[in-house]
Amino acid sequence: MSGSKTGLERLREKIREWSEEIGPITPRMERDPGALEEFCDAAVFRYQAQLAIPPEYRVSDDTGMAPVPGEGMTVQRVVMAEEISAVDPAIVLAAPGPSLSGGAIEAMADPDQKKWFYSRLQERPTWTFFGLTEPKHGSDAMGLETTLTPSGDGHLELSGTKRYVGNAARADVGVVFARTRPGPLGVMAVMVDTADPGFKATPLPTLGMRGNQICAIEMDRVRIPPENVLGRHLPASRRGIWGALQSLSAFRPGMAGMAVGIARAAHDYLLRHRGELAAGGMERVREIGRRIEAGRALTLHAARAADARSESAGYLASAAKYRTSRLAEDVTREAIALLGPGARLDHPDLDRYARDARAVEFMEGTRNVHRLNLFQGIVQRKLSG
Ligand SMILES: Cc1cc2nc3c(=O)[nH]c(=O)nc-3n(C[C@H](O)[C@H](O)[C@H](O)COP(=O)(O)OP(=O)(O)OC[C@H]3O[C@@H](n4cnc5c(N)ncnc54)[C@H](O)[C@@H]3O)c2cc1C
């Protein structure tokens, strides 16, 4: 039988097996995100970090999982994100490794900067962060107010406030977006060492994705050496906000994969509790199963477009993120309704799925923002396939 499995199916099975190994950590991580640190050498984390580090910068490939022939990295990331999220989506976000900042590094770092960044991540399990959102600037990231100013001795100084930044309090290094002058081309990205004086990250209390430990960051004249400025070798239009968008777009299909994973976790939960469902419940569960299949197919389609660098890729990723974040919210809410009054108290796992689903709506662009992007793709006739 196993001889007839595709490479992607084998990858799915392996990640499912690895994810289940760390499943028991989930209830503890809800109370204490630091609990994850005991497991950070688990195979699923090593694989996730490995997939995010380009082969030429990897010290070793130690998980024994070769790339799937005929499939690109985005497709593999989507499968990984779905499988881990069916256990706990916070684990995808809370894992040590390049995270979203790796996307910024890929888009804007020169070879020396890449070498420095990736080598730091491989000395030991190391967290990173991606600092874009500010208290008054979420969806309108271009309005960001954090400043990057010359210090007079060839260095720069970073000052400002960021919000909702995952893993910042446990990260060693990250990428921060800041303004050197007014206007969209005045934004630059810099690599920041969190041990430097003037940098402070504080975890925020949250309802969902608690393991991700989203943080507030205060920066007061953090010194940035000139070699930590990303995109210095690139034209002005290829730095700053452009790099942030590249990074977010590259990870968006993975975010849709996470949403599919959450919906699947709720669906599987209903199947395991079929005896407790309200009348007509199984018909609803079958319909949910069909919607999940459709969401997964759209997500894989968007991932393959991203791997093929298709002109439609960004719009399809928006469509997938839009559709699946809604799917995760609808399915988790419906699952709670099908289990009747008190379900959130009696079924804490289901309660967690619903809280996590709400968080997916905000990460990497809200549904309204993706609806606007999709609309642009349609009117400009850039959405094919
Ligand atoms: C779990 C989690 C992890 C995160 N991790 C990070 C991270 O690592 N780094 C980071 O920088 N940020 C991170 N974020 C922040 C995230 O990127 C922002 O929450 C997101 O950009 C939305 O910004 P906001 O929360 O300020 O909401 P707002 O932008 O204020 O949006 C509020 C509402 O207004 C709507 N809206 C906004 N603009 C428009 C418009 N033009 N047209 C129509 N409707 C609009 C939105 O759809 C939404 O419903 C994270 C968030 C979460 C929940």
Q: Is the CB of 133 under 6 A from ligand 1?
A: yes
> Rounded to the nearest whole angstrom, what is the distance from the C-alpha of residue 376 to the centroid of ligand 1?
20
Q: For ligand 1, atom 14, which residue shows the shortest CA distance?
A: 164
Q: Is the CB of 362 under 6 A from ligand 1?
A: yes
- Per-residue confidence in pLDDT tens, the chain, 385 aa: 445 788 899 999 999 998 888 888 888 888 888 888 888 788 888 888 888 888 888 877 666 677 788 889 899 999 999 999 999 999 899 989 998 999 999 999 999 999 999 999 888 889 999 999 999 999 999 999 999 999 989 999 999 999 999 999 999 999 999 999 999 899 999 999 999 999 999 999 999 998 889 999 999 999 999 999 999 899 988 889 999 998 888 899 999 999 999 999 999 999 999 999 988 899 999 999 999 999 999 999 999 999 998 999 999 999 999 999 999 999 999 999 999 889 999 999 999 999 999 999 999 899 999 999 999 999 998 886 6
Q: For ligand 1, atom 31, which residue shows the shortest CA distance?
A: 139
Say if CB 81 and CB 261 are below 8 A apart: yes
Q: Is the CB of 166 under 6 A from ligand 1?
A: yes
Q: Is the CB of 130 under 6 A from ligand 1?
A: yes
Q: What is the 3-state secondary structure (H, E, C) of the chain?
A: CHHHCCHHHHHHHHHHHHHHHHHHHHHHHHHCHHHHHHHCCCHHHHHHHHHHCCHHHCCCCCCCCCCCCCCCHHHHHHHHHHHHHCCCHHHHHHCCCCHHHHHHHHHHCCHHHHHHHHHHHHCCCCEEEEECCECCECCCHHHCCCEEEECCCCCEEEEEEEEEEECCCCEEEEEEEEECCCCHHHEEEEEEECCCCCEEEEECCCCCCHHHCEEEEEEEEEEECHHHEECCCCCHHHCHHHHHHHHHHHHHHHHHHHHHHHHHHHHHHHHHCHHHCCCCHHHHHHHHHHHHHHHHHHHHHHHHHHHCCCCCHHHHHHHHHHHHHHHHHHHHHHHHHHCCCCHHHHCHHHHHHHHHHHHHHHCCCCHHHHHHHHHHHHHCCCCCC
- How far from 279 is each of 36, 284, 317, 337, 344, CA to CA, in Å? 40, 10, 37, 12, 19
Neighbours of 368 (CB within 10 A): 11
> Rounded to the nearest whole angstrom, what is the distance from the C-alpha of residue 361 to the centroid of ligand 1?
8
Q: For ligand 1, atom 16, which residue shows the shortest CA distance?
A: 363
Q: Is the CB of 305 under 6 A from ligand 1?
A: no
Question: How many whole angstroms separate alpha carbon 174 and alpha carbon 98?
Answer: 9
Q: Is the CB of 92 under 6 A from ligand 1?
A: no
pLDDT at 2 (0 to 100): 46
Question: How many whole angstroms separate alpha carbon 327 and alpha carbon 332?
Answer: 8
Q: Is the CB of 214 under 6 A from ligand 1?
A: yes
Q: Is the CB of 173 under 6 A from ligand 1?
A: no
pLDDT at 305 (0 to 100): 93
pLDDT at 283 (0 to 100): 94
pLDDT at 351 (0 to 100): 95
pLDDT at 51 (0 to 100): 82
Question: How many whole angstroms separate alpha carbon 262 and alpha carbon 189?
Answer: 32
Q: For ligand 1, atom 24, which residue shows the shortest CA distance?
A: 138
Q: Is the CB of 322 under 6 A from ligand 1?
A: no
Q: For ligand 1, atom 19, which residue shows the shortest CA distance?
A: 362
Amino acid (1-letter code) at residue 216: A
Dihedral of CA atoms 233, 239, 242, 247 in degrees, nearest 10, equals: 80
pLDDT at 3 (0 to 100): 55
Query: Nearest to residue 367, comparing CAs of 139, 37, 166?
Result: 139
pLDDT at 37 (0 to 100): 81
pLDDT at 385 (0 to 100): 60
Q: Is the CB of 363 under 6 A from ligand 1?
A: yes
pLDDT at 308 (0 to 100): 93
Could you tell me which residues come within 8 angstroms of residue 36 by beta carbon, excluding any fewer than 6 positions away? 25, 29, 91, 94, 95, 211
Q: For ligand 1, atom 35, which residue shows the shortest CA distance?
A: 368
Q: For ligand 1, atom 9, which residue shows the shortest CA distance?
A: 165
Query: Nearest to residue 19, comparing CAs of 67, 63, 85?
Result: 85
Question: How many whole angstroms separate alpha carbon 103 and alpha carbon 89?
Answer: 19
Structure tokens of 347? 């079924």
Q: For ligand 1, atom 44, which residue shows the shortest CA distance?
A: 368
Q: Which atom of ligand 1 is nearest to the CA of 208?
A: 1
Q: Is the CB of 164 under 6 A from ligand 1?
A: yes
Say if CB 305 and CB 312 are below 8 A apart: yes
